[in-house]
Structure 1
């Protein structure tokens, strides 16, 4: 088993200027999205590099604003009611994928209106570029030692001791004394083996989803289908991996004694994605290829 190395959160320091790993992951995510979208624009009619620049800008704005607002509304609403200024305390951290997704959707709707395209023409074009951002984001979570997984007695070689989870490990030991045999002492801290769920998510929601979406969207598909597959792929991956991820301490299980907030927010994505996929193939409208509708 591994011990999380507790990386310095600052990736690069140039005098008073500090570049944090998580900020660097965002930069890499936006750069990858731009590069991939630029490449896709060379393979599609009615798309230009200027459009791609605008598209990525609105998407980045949606991720940052929507991610922060979504985190506060979905996970820290009580704190917001007590202190509305908490919404603007971005230096304290806190981003939500589902909030970021809503922010990106609003940005894409504005882009579609500006360039006189349908919303799904825009979404089908850009969503294959999104999973790389999820990949970098989850790697950033792992580097920061946050959003760790649940305790496991499975003995898998990749289980990880997270020093950042020490207070929670002690609490779990007090509630479940049988975990004593799994606990180890590291620099005076008592730790339990946990799933590195950040890496599970990086692999499933990031790498695998990207590879599948890139392949799927490389051939003519009905309008809405690519977006539907993204919703299905992310929703299913997130729902499953939540069984290995430690629920947020201030949230716990929100329904039925086992459903987490992440699963509750992902379930509608699965339902909507499935319905959209059926509807897309039933309509059979193609934006490119031999059956393209002009």
Structure 2
């Protein structure tokens, strides 16, 4: 082979190596870097910790927190940014204008959305529910209280809209929903009526019904009737209900990570976290003569049940 041929071959190989190196670099680097803006009415230690955790999960993106009072109006924010709302006041701020960047609303319950939005759903806004999914709570009851067939449900004017869905979900599971309106929480008679016809009480995430003022009456009544209360959330389990499903910060970060990896056009209108945990109250279980809830095992069984059609 002559010198000219060897030089030609050398440059061909060099060009090929450069192309391979560039391809490797492109594969190793993220396709794009996003501007992710978190906002709420106020800053705080919890907000900062969540922002830092998300930033650590997404080192290629620019993740910042700014109170919305220090931001321009939503329509003036860059359309390419991703907006994450951490409280209800920030949602009210975002809803002032129809224009704005793609938005994920964190920590909002079904009831709160119904009160603010009704049946409307603004464009480019995705709601990530904070209250436990009704179906997940029913599966929890079926797992820890397999003999329970009649599910008592207190509801108020704000939470009544959830009843139809709950009845539809319970029917194929062989469960009966026993609804009871409780529009005056100072009146215990609806509680006593419901307890007569129920095997377990499922709490809806309705703060008008489940709050520090009603907790004593609710729990003492349930103990007196030996009737377990499941839900409405992890906080109420600490106060004295038997168990609940819930999603914590790592679960929410996993949700955000998955969504932020997708184009906003693919974001769902509403979403429950796929990942969750179970919390139980051992003292309550003992007082009701029930087995202590094995939190990890129950969560695994409920999650497996959700995967089956």
TM-score scaled by length of structure 2: 0.26
More strand by share: 2
Report 1 or 2 for greater relative contact order, CA contacts < 8 Å, sequence distance ≥ 6. Answer: 1
Larger Rg: 2
TM-score scaled by length of structure 1: 0.27
